[in-house]
Amino acid sequence: MVSSARLPGGAAQPLSLRQSEARDRADRIEVTSYDVSLDLDRGDETFGSVSTIDLVSLGGPTFLEIQPASLLSVTVNDFPVDLSRHQGGRVPIDTEPGSNRVVVDAVMTYRHDGEGLHRSVDPADGRHYVYAMPFLDAAPSIFGCFDQPDLKAEWRFRTRVPRDWVVIGNSPATELEPGVWEIGPTLPLPTYLVALVAGPYHVVRTEHDGIPLGLSARASIAAHLDHDAEEIFTVTAQCFDEFHRLFEIRYPFGDYHQAFVPEFNAGAMESAGCVTFRDPMIFQSRVVRTFHTLRASTIAHEMAHMWFGDIVTPRWWDDLWLNESFAEYMGARVTADATEFEDVWVSEAYSRRSWGLSADQRPSTHPVAGNGAEDAATALQNFDGISYAKGAGILKQLNSHLGDEVFFGGVRDHFQRHRFANATMVDLLEAWERAGAEDLAGFRDGWLLSAGPDTLELDRASGLIRLTPPPGERAGRHHALAVAAAPADRTGTWRVQRLVVDSDTVPVTVPTGAVVLDPEIETWAVTLPDASTLAALPDVLSTSTDPLLRASVWLSVRNALQHARLDPALALDLLAAALPHEDTDDGVGQTLAWALGAVVPVSQDPVAARARVHETAAACVAASQAGSTLQLAAFQGQVSACQEPALLRNWLAAGDRLPEGVVVDLDLRWRILVQLAVRGAIDRDELAAQLADEVTAVSQVEHAKALAALPDAAAKSWAWARFTGEVEVPNYELEAIGLGVWQVGQEHLTDPYVERYFEDLPATAEVRTGYLLAQSVGDFYPRWSINAGTVERARSLLGREDLDPVLRREVVDFTWDLERRLAVVEAFGSSGAIKP
């Protein structure tokens, strides 16, 4: 791919490595070691980078990658390379048969987009922090290298930093002299798994089962890290014990450090020996159980990568499921089986599964394996709900079918045969077959190599379950699932029958009343409730004592709305009837958030619909125990739904209308302030004073969201200057501004920006790359401009042949989402607030 985009620092966007090029280079060379020297003590903008690379070659031409601010020299076996040949982030070199040494000397630019070597300033104290995020193709913006997953090598680092900094990496770091640290040698790793964390971090250490454990976070949140450390260390130790039991292969990378770093794009990154997490996972406010569960499952997910990805690495990104699908499945399973967060499958149903099903129905759907990642840029877009949630769901199904003995027998075989090397889908399937699985060709073709979900729905009149394969795919998947029937009265129990759906139609006994397909969430499919079930659910959903069944119902309800099968008014009726009886944080918090983000905007009267959500949230608060996290989940939803400035002000001041047990801390304070901003009930001076009162990274991000949400023309213009890149802001602030700028009810201010979005979007590829480029497409997409004109504007943009491929994919998907909202509006009517 050739793009006109430009990287931070002014370097041209590099050519994206193609799979064919990677295969050819891996056939020609074997990289044996890297010795990298980084000088991080020369200012805030740039750093020095010298890479010494030893490799064995068949001889002849190849190329290395480097994305410098200034390329000083490249030598091969002490002979200088003509630097004028450096183009598209590549330097062509000529190698000799046998051993070669390549040395790359460059000045590099710190990045502020969460990729490469990211440098940030903590607004709380002005201290600077650095971390490396070389994934997926950002390593060449840190050092010269051969950047592909199947050229694994041993690594050494020598890093010069300010004397009050600490340095952490893939192996234990040693301070050789004040400000000079050495890391390595490491076990063989690809470029994308290199870790470097440097700055005045607060560090906590312990040990478990002979493995040194460490945690680190910014100094300004040291007290919060100390508070959370016991829980994090406990989960870490429990997960290690369970992974060792299941895999029968000990963790091999020495120390295990978990670094919570600022402005991190992903949830976490599995760099061997030093996992990096986004530091909001160190809780600075009271949070609902959902977030403790998410943190635990993320810890387990990243630990699973030490085996799936770090010991055995995919040969190319078309098999990224060998990393992410496995880590997603194992993360949830180990969390459920080994930690106190046994309810993780309920959390996964409300969040990750919905994410995956939406991704799998969009135009960009792709197979779990063999995903068409012809180059690295395409591969980055495939780190989505399909590669994570769908792949995990399919592996859970396979495990249920094979049983643990065969499933983990094959996994252990796979690890042993490809230890510290690379492998493919075929390698793993063969390992399972050697362990006793039957021929897995049908599983491979039906589940791994075909795209899109099947749809399952009840034909009540005919007494059938109907299976509809995705468009363009043939039927052939088998679905083993349960069917649950609601009790005839509120004191009865739900009745469950099991069946296998292996053809277009399967007979089923259909009782009267509500029927729930796949109540135990056992198969990957879109389940659609029939009309009689939707009508009956408000009276019967609260009769279930099974939180997973209730999660399954809400999944089906979400599906029904997305497919324009459900009147938003009925969704609000169900919300009001069932949610005050819900006893899980996920069920309350995530369902309220869905109602505000998906139901209210497509309702006939969004103002009245938001008021109904507020009333339901208030009922949930009243029904919950004072001081419980269930109450907190409900109150967070109540704040987000509130349209009464006087009530918001009362809460902000901890007045008499604040529910007993609720404390307005950092998170709740800014949640209230953002809503005051949306209502125009606060001005910029007061927001600035609120920021000054408690200057933290969280406050700074939420302050940016509040400024963008203000209902005046200046706010929207301010936000737009940041979208276009006219004004550069850190990645978290850019995301917050995008989420703040579009507000239902502010169409008179935002309508002019609908056209501007599609006009200005292509040029954003000149100021952003990678994750942040893709993320900003969705954050700033005019999601509440639900009308045919917006869809036509999107289609017109997609007709441009020169549109950046990353932008194209994201616009296609978000336009599909908009078309789904428009279908609901057309089916059930709308108010003037959202024009049809």
Q: Which residues are catalytic?
A: 302
| β-bridge partners, 261 | 278
Amino acid (one-letter) located at 756: R
Strand partners, 835: none
Q: What are phi and psi of 635, to 5 degrees?
A: -70, -35
Tokens of 708: 């963008």
Across 469-558, the runs of DSSP E, i.e. the strands, are 479-485, 495-501, 505-507, 515-517, 525-528
Contacts of 208 (CB under 8 A, 6+ apart): 233, 236, 237, 240
CA distances from 173 to 159, 195, 197, 253, 273 (A): 10, 11, 10, 13, 11
Q: How far apart are CA 526 and CA 518, in angstroms?
A: 10
CA distance 565 to 827: 9
Token pair listed for 477: 């998947």
Q: Give the SS3 label for residue 173.
A: strand
Q: How many residues does the chain have?
A: 836
Amino acid at 460: R
Cα within 13 Å of Cα(42), Cβ side:
13
CB distance 220 to 190 below 8 Å = no
Do the beta carbons of residue 364 and residue 452 sit within 8 Å?
no
- Give the separation between CA 161 and CA 181, rounded to whole angstroms: 8
Q: How many CB atoms lie within 10 A of CB 97?
A: 10
Query: Which DSSP state fits 449?
Result: S
Q: Name the strand (E) or helix (H) holding 260.
A: strand 256-261
Parallel, antiparallel or unpaired: strands 256-261 and 274-278: parallel
Residue with tokens 């805030």: 44
